[in-house]
Amino acid sequence: MQSFEELLKVSTKIHGHICAGQVIGVRMAIVGLREIGIADPKGRDRKNLYVLVEIDRCATDAIQSATGCSLGKRSLRWVDNGIMAATFVNLATQKGVRITALEEARETSKKYCPEIEDKYKQQLKAYRIMPEDELFKIEKVKVEIPEFDLPGRPKRRVRCEKCGDWVQDGRDVKKDGKTLCRGCAHGRYYSVET
């Protein structure tokens, strides 16, 4: 696996700028991979890694770039909880770990870099050197991943009986005896302009 600095450099390039969230995400990925026994996430272990992220912020880009997991490969899942946390799962061993960034770390960062007055620059530097236990809560967890959420080819494709769109991986809905897409069953997030 690449070093922290190498992973941070790649992450920063993908994300577009360096920030404290990038540092947290890369460190979170390193800890998560270590805890579940994944040594080569972009190589020989890539099919054994599954990550659930709980926030759509900077750290998620860092986790994606450090692990090689992505939505398109179905090895990264976004769980919209609004929490700076990620769960790393080794699909081969079923070992799982959930890592949460501690809110207290913002205040704790002051003791590591008191010479820096700007709080964002202070956090950026401090988060690189803070001990894991002052930056994260680390919990061993078990995650039940539904068959339709696992990486790999689609398990099933069905056609919506109302709009004709094809629905994959069990995302279809049975309503009034018909097989529908979620948009037709529950309403769409968009409206068609004519």
Model's pTM, two decimal places? 0.92
124 pLDDT above the threshold of 80: yes
Structure tokens at 33: 């991979």
Choosing among 3.40.50.620, 1.10.1040.10, 3.30.70.60, 3.30.1330.130, the CATH entry for 4-148 is 3.30.1330.130
Q: Is 36 left (phi over 0), alpha (psi -120 to 50) or beta?
A: alpha
Q: Which residues make beta-bridge pairs with 52?
A: 77, 87
Cβ-contact 88, 64 below 8 angstroms: no
Return d(Cα 183, Cα 68) in angstroms, integer: 31
* Structural domain spans, the chain: 4-148, 153-186
- Please tell me the CATH code under which domain 153-186 is placed: 3.30.60
Confidence of residue 2 (pLDDT cuts 50, 70, 90): confident
Q: What is the largest CA-CA distance in the chain?
A: 67
Confidence of residue 1 (pLDDT cuts 50, 70, 90): confident
The per-residue pLDDT for range 128-154, each reduced to its tens digit, is 999 999 999 999 999 999 999 999 999
**94, 28, 91, 37: which is closest to 65 by C-alpha?**
28
Structure tokens at 174: 């049975």
Q: What is the CA radius of gyration of the chain?
A: 20
Question: pLDDT over 70 for what percent of the chain?
Answer: 100
- pLDDT number for residue 5: 87
Return d(Cα 182, Cα 169) in angstroms, integer: 12
- pLDDT number for residue 135: 97
Confidence of residue 187 (pLDDT cuts 50, 70, 90): very high
- pLDDT number for residue 125: 95
The per-residue pLDDT for range 52-72, each reduced to its tens digit, is 999 999 999 999 999 999 999
Return d(Cα 136, Cα 35) in angstroms, integer: 13
**180, 177, 186: which is closest to 164 by C-alpha?**
180
Mean pLDDT of the chain: 95
The per-residue pLDDT for range 159-173, each reduced to its tens digit, is 999 999 999 999 999
